[in-house]
Homo-oligomer: A and B are copies of this chain.
């Protein structure tokens, strides 16, 4: 068990081990990307045979990928019927926002509790979103808005909280895609994001937490209106 190899060799080995992923994982990533990007609309059935064929992998491997996506709640698995891109109900979206509020607000409080947080990544996300909004690049605005919130949670330095937030946002993308113009949806929140940053920069974490709470409440209302109101078919 004694390691006769020098440090660089060991690290190179580790790196290879971490970098290398199996086919199933790669397939999972591809499908996740397609789903969160909205290219597979919610409700779509994902045929085992067609996708396995298209990606050039066996059905066994694809099934492993489906299980993983099912656990991430991006697809639902109906026995003997196949997997479908998840269709969120209004209740589920509400529940998601409840959890989102808990996670994000807790993260802010935690971040402030352990000294002054480093806000550079958060600030970066807001600024990029601001310029993207000016240039009306809505798709980028949406992506950067979500990244902003991910960075907010990252301030708490908790791997598990980060992971939880990542999954939450992936699921929420499903909800956004139901709306016709998922891009503009995020636009008004860029301003409020900036506001949040300002509060944090002045050490007012509790105020930021409260503002974030009402912020998310508004966003949820807007989303729910899109659900109950017009059945705005995407694209």
A interface, CB within 8 angstroms of B: 17, 20-22, 24, 60, 63-64, 67-68, 71-72, 78-79, 95-96, 98-99, 102-103, 106, 110, 158-161, 164
Contact A99 B20 (CB under 8 A): no
Return A21 CB to nearest CB of chain B, in Å.
7
- Known A-B contacts A64-B63, A67-B67, A79-B17; the reply to A158 vs B22 at CB < 8 A is no
Query: Are the CB atoms of B160 and A99 closer together than 8 Å?
Result: yes
A98 nearest in chain B by CB position: B158
Inter-chain contacts of A161 with B (CB < 8 A): 98-99, 102
A22 close to B79 (CB less than 8 A): yes
Complex contacts, A106 vs chain B, CB 8 Å: 102, 106
A24 to B103, CA, bound (A): 32
Residue from B95, B103, B158, B160 in contact with A159 in the complex, judged by beta carbons closer than 8 Å: B95
